[in-house]
Chains A and B, each alone.
Chain A
Amino acid sequence: AQTVTQSQPEMSVQEAETVTLSCTYDTSESDYYLFWYKQPPSRQMILVIRQEAYKQQNATENRFSVNFQKAAKSFSLKISDSQLGDAAMYFCAYRSALFGEKLTFGTGTRLTIIP
């Protein structure tokens, strides 16, 4: 079974600075998808960014980018120019491309933005 590990339960960053959230995963599959989700306090979980494993190019969405290292099974999220609205729980998730449609989630990282 696939597992997703987020080793940083909490992180903090000064407003306007850059922060990187770590995620590693364990799988024997070669084709899969990785996601970062954001859950603001008392609000709905939303997708931040996704990465297809067959793509070598790292995904980017505005201030959010990933560092996808397939051989190392690492998928970190970089948030540039941090804003107060970035404060949230961030979850890394894995989905097999071949077997099933469920997502397996990590335990989450709580990000605090310091004004």
Chain B
Amino acid sequence: DVKVTQSSRYLVKRTGEKVFLECVQDMDHENMFWYRQDPGLGLRLIYFSYDVKMKEKGDIPEGYSVSREKKERFSLILESASTNQTSMYLCASSLHPAGTNTGELFFGEGSRLTVL
């Protein structure tokens, strides 16, 4: 089974702190994603990466950056955390769609970040 592991389930940070959220997948997936989940808003894509050192902005990239130095690891960085970044962050991975593969996402358990 695919395993996507997020380093922290719960984090509490202060406004202005730099925050790192780490995600590792063990199935050699090309694609990795960071989504943000908020009540009533569903999941919104922050950034995704389709290869090492490659990244593309999603729908809400402002205030975030990402790093993918190795295929299995995708990090989300909040350079200066703000209270409006308090949220659940979900990491996901997928194979490049081809043949019968429909590009479904495999998710981690999520990281709940609170910024005070």
Contact = CB atoms under 8 A, between A and B. Distances in A.
Given A106-B42, A107-B41, A33 B109 contact: no
A105 B103 contact: no
Which 8 A-B pairs have CB atoms at the shortest separation, nearest pair first? Answer: A107-B42, A105-B43, A45-B107, A105-B42, A33-B102, A44-B109, A47-B104, A108-B42
Contact of A101 (B44, B90, B96, B107): B96
Nearest to A4: B42
Contacts, number: 53
Interface of A: 4, 6, 9, 33, 35, 37, 43-47, 50, 52, 91, 95, 97, 101-108
B45 interface: yes
A101 B48 contact: yes
A36 to B, nearest CB: 11
B109 to A, nearest CB: 5
Contacts of B110: 44
A52 B104 CA distance: 12
A101 B42 contact: no
A45 B109 CA distance: 7
Contacts of B64: none
Interface of B: 31, 33, 35, 40-45, 48, 50, 58, 90, 92, 94, 96-97, 102-105, 107-110
B58 to A, nearest CB: 7
B94 A101 contact: yes
Nearest to A34: B102
A101 B104 contact: no
A95 to B, nearest CB: 6
A4 B110 CA distance: 22
A102 B58 contact: yes
B43 A91 contact: yes
23 contacts: A4-B42, A33-B103, A35-B104, A37-B107, A43-B109, A44-B107, A44-B109, A44-B110, A45-B90, A95-B97, A97-B97, A101-B31, A101-B48, A101-B97, A102-B45, A103-B45, A103-B103, A104-B45, A105-B42, A105-B43, A105-B44, A107-B41, A107-B42
